[in-house]
Structure 1
Amino acid sequence: MTGQGRIRTIADLEALEARGLDAFLPHRSPWEILRAQAERQPGATAIRYLHDAADPSRDEVVSYADLAGRIMGAARLFRQHGVTPDRAVALLTPHSVSGQVALWGAQMAGRACPINPMLKPDHVAALIRASDAAAIVIAGMSDEMAVWAQLVPALRAEGMDLPIFACDADHASPGSDGTFETLIAMGGPEVTPAGDESAIAAFYHTGGTTGQPKLVCHSRLNEAHVARSCAVMHDLSPSDVMVNGFPLFHVAGAFVYGLSVLSAGGTLVVPGRLGMRNPAFMADIWGQVERLGVTVIGAVPTVLSALRARPVNADISSLRWLLTGGSPLPRELAEAVEGHTGVPVRNILGMTESAGAIAVEPVHGGRTPLSCGLRLPFTEVAILGETEGEADPARPLPTGKTGIVATRGPHVAAGYSDPSRNAGTFLPEGWLVSGDLGRLDAEGRLFVTGRKKDMIIRGAHNIDPQMIEDALLAHPEVTNAAAVGMPDAYAGELPVAFVTGAVTEAAMIAFLGQRIEDPVALPKRIAVVEALPLTPIGKIFKPSLRAEAIRWAIAAAAERLGIVAKVDVAPNLETRITTSAGDVERLSDALAGMPITCTVEAG
């Protein structure tokens, strides 16, 4: 990291801040960052895209100058089709070169609205309308992705008459208004972005996978600040080569592990349209590290689990860091991965409303079990008490006390596109309430101890339990419902539900299949019970349900191993498991990836 010094402690952060924000962040928008790199090192590799992980000859290598030129071409195309500073481009693309180009080009012409292409067409249409999009880019016909065939006819049937461009297509895409890659290569005048660093750069959807659209308004400054902050905390430089298989509709893919690398002048390795779900890439992950000189891999805990299961069969001495976030990082998993690879693991806490980052473990500061790291430069993190059940900035809690995590600074978005949704999350004083429960230690490290909002985190997907509960309660025979996360060694958590009423589990799963757009939000198990546990004032007491979900998860793991285990879950959800002496290690290994506090002992 040139000219900034290595960050290890809060004192290092304060020394960096003493130099001023202008020195830390000279470029206040993604385009300024990318243009500066194109001018500084035009021939350096910005993106290496693996069209076929098994065939290195098909790698697509894009220089910074080429990337900037394509982005300008995309901005020109969008302006020609009605995109203005107050209108958006809806992007339903894979993480690819064209996906990157479309994202930044849309922000130059107006606003970007990346959308998960796996959502159902009616929800996609609602997001497109909520963003006031003037054009759409969708992954074209290919053997790997069925997005075009599923979405385009449905969007047209919904009355969507906007121009739709096909990108990353292997075959002709019926109904296309043109091929994105061809159209952006056409000449024309340059586009100058309108507005300053506070202008809206993008809308990112959040808050569940069904119901009314909920769009976070990112400013250019939000995105640039997170990118630069992560580059500094992760000590990224032009020599770094980062594997980034996150989708671009996820803030980690776009900013935390994407624009951060580009801001440092490094190289992004994108493992094809399927990202880290690319079986050819994952089967040869260590060989790819050796071949490409990979120095950093961005991952979620589920991917770390997969890496742990892969024998290290290549020279991975280039690999400096394994970076993770998106869901809780179990201490046992981090230690097991570090022991298996010899590569340090570092954690992060972020959310869509903060452009992906709130706290980061600095790579040179060591890993502290259960810590999310230090606040970002030029930001604040506070632990707040409550007033009438809501986080209250007038009641900050001292070091070591547990309360609601809040943050403010250049990374915090201005709010949702519908301001009526801001209450309780975006506070007038500039605070963003994360919904997490946590504490700060004397060294400034943040520890998350629970979730005030009960969000279920499956891999890197945030699943709103209220959304599942509302869908369950739509059944005429269901009288009450609750959804919680069940610990899972691979996914972190899986959604499960409890209902009362004259129904069956099979019937409820079938019922939800027609009402929940995203398959990852479908409960893996639905228990039909006589009554749900309630608090004295009649609210559902979810800790009891989480305890039951923990018992399910441990029982399933023990059954798979043919092990008999006794499980005791305390009111604070700390879990004690007893089994035969010969099975302690096997069961401990099977539970290592679960985000629970547990002890396995002989008994």
Structure 2
Amino acid sequence: MIAKLTDIEALEAKGFDAAYPQKSPWDILRHQAETRPDKVAIRYLVDASDPARDEVVTYGDFARRIMGAAKLFRGLGVTPNASVAILAQHTPSAQTAIWGAQIAGRACPINPMLKPDHIAGLLDAANAKVAVIMGVNGELDYWSALVPALREAGVTIPLLACDADAQSPGADGVFEEMIQTASGKDVQPEGDETALAAFYHTGGTTGAPKLVQHMRLNEAHVARSCAIMHDLTERDVVVNGFPLFHVAGAFVYGLSTLSAGGTLIVPGRLGMRNAAFMGSIWQQVERYGVTILGVVPTILASLKATPIDADISSLRWLLTGGSPLPTELADAVEKHTSVPVRNILGMTECAGAIAVEPVHGTRTPMSCGLRMPFSEVAVFGETEGDADPSKPLGPDETGIIALRGPNVAAGYSDPARNIGTFLDGGWLVSGDLGMIDNEGRLFVTGRKKDVIIRGAHNIDPQMIEDALLAHPDVLTAAAVGMPDAYAGELPVVFAEMRQGSQAGEAELIDFLRDRIEDPVALPKRIGTVDEMPLTPVGKIFKPTLRAEAIRWAVGQAAEALGVEAEIAVDEKLSTRVMVPGESVDAMKDRLAGMPIKLSVEARS
């Protein structure tokens, strides 16, 4: 049982092989199939209102499907140096495709909502020989528009339909049928635990695709580490509605549960956006004996507002990550549910986990928890603005967070992108500012790397800025995250316009609509400034803009409540909100979930 750093050190003293006997995802899944073949691995809710329609997949059946997929992919030309692209929702078929791809070659899960040209670039960069795409259905039909667009973009590889409710025009086969009929000898994975297992795209950038190279051990280490830190067992029933192109869905909550022999509850194609599931979330907990909910802070906020109308005594933990966890939100959810909330910090470049709050330890406000076993987390000073491993900082000193260990990926597929992120000595620079206390707990205090986190999606602000700078009236542009009680952050942009420009906010947003690759990165608001705030060396000083974005967010909340608010944001972005005394509680509730340090007080 892990509760504090000394427990991790005791585990490490037993040796790596004792703690991590399986060193690849397939080793984990094959072991479970041999150990508990009839245990339910995945319960997929086809219709959240009708349990009779659930698709139930045992560990034995799951392993057979995965090997069938591996045989299929090998027959279609997938070798250890090639990949299978998976553009689908979180379903048993998508899970099957990912793990089967890693046996035959490499997996490349892709967000199907990206623009077709960007997807085509990812397919090429990953050397994809086949793609598995969710086929025509009544809930999320991106096949009908995406497949013709990919063909028009020059994609010629086989495109297989999965999870379809109807015929999918242009399909080169139906994935579920093809894995059932795949024949031949079992495929043996080539190479050891350091072989490349998957490409995961990150950042939402335009231009050349940015692919993280996961080794098999990266994914297995994170899965098993999260199982250890979260005390997962074969008795656990874990709701995982994250997409599989996100490391949380695949490893932090997915493979971790399977590594412990537990059961995954997957709430249909829509995941946690499944209104029927979320509208009856507590009844679902009672029905399936759910022990753990894996969610982002935005979902925590909705749980706080959902009356408990069922017996949820089976629920052990509420696990969250993907964006900062406001202390007020965690407190409110724990008070509402009587279920502990625990946080996690991760990134795609380390398969989803840097630090985890162990469930048997205490929740510490603003802490992300303890490092993964057999890994190192450090805080470095800077040299010319970059993290410098020769300048390690001590407890409670703030600097740039970095890590190294079995969870750190093998860099980007384009080595030129490694500069400043993957350093000599095995260090991965997270891009966050933070500190480590004397108990080994990690705290994120800010950002060095300029990224906007909307829900669990990382958005590269430069991508938005570059797109907006293409407008003839825009002189300079700067994108930042505006705090949001539901999404964590929303992208907003500040623009300095040419003198005499008549372009308004609506025109600028329409201009960006076709130029932003990822729909979640489309700015929610564009403000104009007479002059950009600059540093002494002439760089845009974004803290000033973030302060204004905070004022926007708090001002919108006050307007929605119909109250007048005085808003003060200091140089460290701590925010003080003054409202009439009778509105203090309502304002606190309205702002709960925003990832900012704030106080709400009665106006004298």
Q: Which moved more, 1:499-508 or 1:366-375?
A: 499-508
1:375 is the counterpart of 2:340: no
1:543 is the counterpart of 2:543: yes
**Which residue of 1 is the match for residue 129 of structure 2?**
134
Shift of 1:210: 2.5
1:209–1:521 CA contact under 8 A, matched in 2: no
Q: Describe how 1:112-151 pairs up with structure 2 within 5 A.
A: 112-151=107-146
2:136–2:164 CA contact under 8 A, matched in 1: yes
**Which residue of 2 is the match for residue 74 of structure 1?**
69
**Which residue of 1 is the match for residue 524 of structure 2?**
524
CA displacement, residues 562-598 of structure 1 (integer Å, 9 cap, x when unaligned): 0111001111111111111111111011001101111
Give the 3-state SS of the residue equivalent to 1:184 in structure 2.
Answer: helix
1:472 is the counterpart of 2:468: yes
1:91–1:115 CA contact under 8 A, matched in 2: yes
1:331 is the counterpart of 2:327: yes
1:570 is the counterpart of 2:566: no
The amino acid that maps onto 2:125 is A
**Which residue of 2 is the match for residue 25 of structure 1?**
20
Give the 3-state SS of the residue equivalent to 1:265 in structure 2.
Answer: coil
Alignment partner for residue 458 of structure 1, among 454, 460, 463? 454
Query: 1: CA distance between counterparts of 2:71 and 2:566?
Result: 64
The amino acid that maps onto 1:354 is C
Give the 3-state SS of the residue equivalent to 2:493 in structure 1.
Answer: strand
Query: 1: CA distance between counterparts of 2:12 and 2:272?
Result: 36
Q: Describe how 1:56-95 pairs up with structure 2 within 5 A.
A: 56-95=51-90
Alignment partner for residue 177 of structure 2, among 176, 179, 182? 182
Q: How many corresponding residue pairs?
A: 598
Give the 3-state SS of the residue equivalent to 1:137 in structure 2.
Answer: strand
**Which residue of 1 is the match for residue 33 of structure 2?**
38
Query: 1: CA distance between counterparts of 2:186 and 2:597?
Result: 56
1:322 is the counterpart of 2:318: yes
Q: Describe how 1:163-562 pairs up with structure 2 within 5 A.
A: 163-186=158-181, 187-501=183-497, 502=501, 503-562=503-562
Give the 3-state SS of the residue equivalent to 2:94 in structure 1.
Answer: helix
CA displacement, residues 82-117 of structure 1 (integer Å, 9 cap, x when unaligned): 000000001101100001000000000000000000
Q: Which moved more, 1:530-539 or 1:319-328?
A: 530-539
The amino acid that maps onto 2:267 is P
2:204–2:517 CA contact under 8 A, matched in 1: no
Query: 2: CA distance between counterparts of 1:476 and 1:196?
Result: 53
The amino acid that maps onto 2:63 is A
Query: 2: CA distance between counterparts of 1:522 and 1:339?
Result: 35
User: Normalized against structure 2, the TM-score is what?
Assistant: 0.98
CA displacement, residues 130-165 of structure 1 (integer Å, 9 cap, x when unaligned): 000000100000001121111100111111111111
Give the 3-state SS of the residue equivalent to 1:190 in structure 2.
Answer: coil
Query: 1: CA distance between counterparts of 2:203 and 2:576?
Result: 34
Give the 3-state SS of the residue equivalent to 1:547 in structure 2.
Answer: helix
1:308–1:336 CA contact under 8 A, matched in 2: yes
The amino acid that maps onto 1:596 is I
Alignment partner for residue 111 of structure 1, among 106, 109, 130? 106
Shift of 1:209: 4.3
Shift of 1:211: 2.4
1:435–1:452 CA contact under 8 A, matched in 2: yes
The amino acid that maps onto 1:548 is E
Give the 3-state SS of the residue equivalent to 1:347 in structure 2.
Answer: strand
1:88–1:112 CA contact under 8 A, matched in 2: yes
CA displacement, residues 522-541 of structure 1 (integer Å, 9 cap, x when unaligned): 11100122111111111111
User: Normalized against structure 1, the TM-score is what?
Assistant: 0.99
Query: 2: CA distance between counterparts of 1:169 and 1:207?
Result: 29
Shift of 1:188: 2.6
Give the 3-state SS of the residue equivalent to 1:336 in structure 2.
Answer: helix
Shift of 1:476: 1.6
The amino acid that maps onto 1:432 is L
Query: 2: CA distance between counterparts of 1:194 and 1:268?
Result: 29
2:368–2:444 CA contact under 8 A, matched in 1: yes
CA displacement, residues 240-273 of structure 1 (integer Å, 9 cap, x when unaligned): 0000000000000000000000000000000000
Query: 2: CA distance between counterparts of 1:205 and 1:247?
Result: 13
- Residue segments in structure 2 that go unaligned for 5+ positions in a row: none
**Which residue of 2 is the match for residue 594 of structure 1?**
594
2:381–2:400 CA contact under 8 A, matched in 1: yes
The amino acid that maps onto 2:256 is S
The amino acid that maps onto 1:575 is T
Query: 2: CA distance between counterparts of 1:310 and 1:576?
Result: 28
Q: After the TM superposition, which parts of structure 1 deviate over 2 Å for at least 4 consecutive aligned residues?
A: none
Q: Which moved more, 1:348-357 or 1:532-541?
A: 532-541
2:93–2:163 CA contact under 8 A, matched in 1: yes
Give the 3-state SS of the residue equivalent to 2:180 in structure 1.
Answer: coil
